[in-house]
A and B are shown apart, each in its own frame.
Chain A
């Protein structure tokens, strides 16, 4: 089973992400699912991701204090976390609301965009 690398900027939020981590092992632990996600990321519309990312940029910036910075985040980590907020398994009212109206294509586009940025 592949380990998910929680990047240092997210490490501070480990408590919050613990559930996501558990979920990720369940959700994308098999190779087929991972290959499928990689394929979707590769085909994603970066321009759409960049547009949607405007909503994230109001809060998620480099300092990372209080709100994690997400530039350069691994795509599969991003997808797992956003889906966990969408299903309300992760507990933050703002993020549950923001993720709540993202469909799968939008999540993939955002993951492709943020993972393409330098940290």
Chain B
């Protein structure tokens, strides 16, 4: 008896005889979905595709890291509210509970015509649908003097992991009365309230250990997410400790020097004892390699999150142009469910429901002082449009702020379970 492998079978009859219409659906072959990136977008997409298709889809997740440290809550780790280990997650649940083929390799390129992914190790994966959720890549050259070399002394901490550990260590070992300089990124970037929550968490650490230290925020932007709430929180909890300077005050960021620890702006030069410098960002490199980016990010069709450049590639999360949806883990998780529903419908004929998106970003200013901003969205023909939105109010009671913080803990447990269980 001759055994015909699934791939051989599809190749023999699928592509030659019936291939143009339904390549791998012919003769009951299981359609293949490859997901690149195991973060909030990719892990969720892989899990929902596998869970909801109940074996009708062959799902492979490509993620280089064997342990994933969430960017969200890395600020709370820096501030001492979380242990480092508590923001790390592995892929056991996806591999074992959901039977996803987890490939711990680096995806190097995509051949959209052949529908294959080439791994850096030389291996190849074929797909009927590809999901790209690569997150961000840093544009090191957006700030003169910044580089992968410079990030050792001026960590960006924008991809979690050891970078976040370095920032915490810098704050803990900073000289008494020293100056911490933070340079937030220009728009658009991952986690809009992130730099300001980070400044809050650094202030929280310094308040107890090094109360005469200062934090200077040199912002390339004139305003930022939840600005009034953060400013009021800084005044309340850390009076005189955090100085925020917008472009009106410093004239623009010109360059940084990690050896002298200087940040040069148009109007002044700032000497730092410790610093966090977050450069401009773009879609993770595999999105560019796949040819789905236009400029820095990947445009998508809102109803399905399919790339405008290639209907067989869906782009999720930070890498996509999601209009008014911020680049957040919550957004990526929400978009992943919309994409999974559309992909499953197309490949297995399952019912496709009307897409719906939501996001909420919680931030912690100080112990039990949590704030949040959120919105829900619908798929317009060109853009993802806001349906309704909310934001925490200034002057809320301590009870409301504490409940908001506790809610964020619930959300962290919720989303990481939704991604990895």
Contact = CB atoms under 8 A, between A and B. Distances in A.
Contacts of B410: 59, 63-67
Given A54-B337, A55-B358, A62-B417, A97 B376 contact: yes
B389 A97 contact: yes
Contacts of B388: 97, 100-101
Interface string A93-111: 1101110110000000000
Given A58-B330, A66-B408, A97 B414 contact: no
Interface of B: 48, 52, 330, 333-334, 337, 341, 351, 353, 356, 358, 360, 372, 374-376, 387-390, 392, 406-411, 413-415, 417-418, 421
Interface string A40-65: 00000001101110110111111111
B376 A59 contact: no
A55 B48 CA distance: 12
A92 B399 CA distance: 13
A57 B418 contact: yes
A98 B390 contact: no
Interface of A: 47-48, 50-52, 54-55, 57-67, 92-94, 96-98, 100-101
Given A55-B356, A57-B414, A66-B408, 11 more contacts: A54-B48, A58-B330, A58-B333, A58-B418, A63-B413, A65-B413, A66-B413, A67-B414, A94-B374, A97-B376, A101-B388
Q: Which has the most chain B C-beta neighbours within 10 Å: A51, A57, A58, A92?
A: A58
Contact of A61 (B390, B406, B407, B414): B414
Contacts of A93: 372, 374, 390, 392
B358 A98 contact: yes
Contacts of B387: 101
Contacts of B406: 65-66
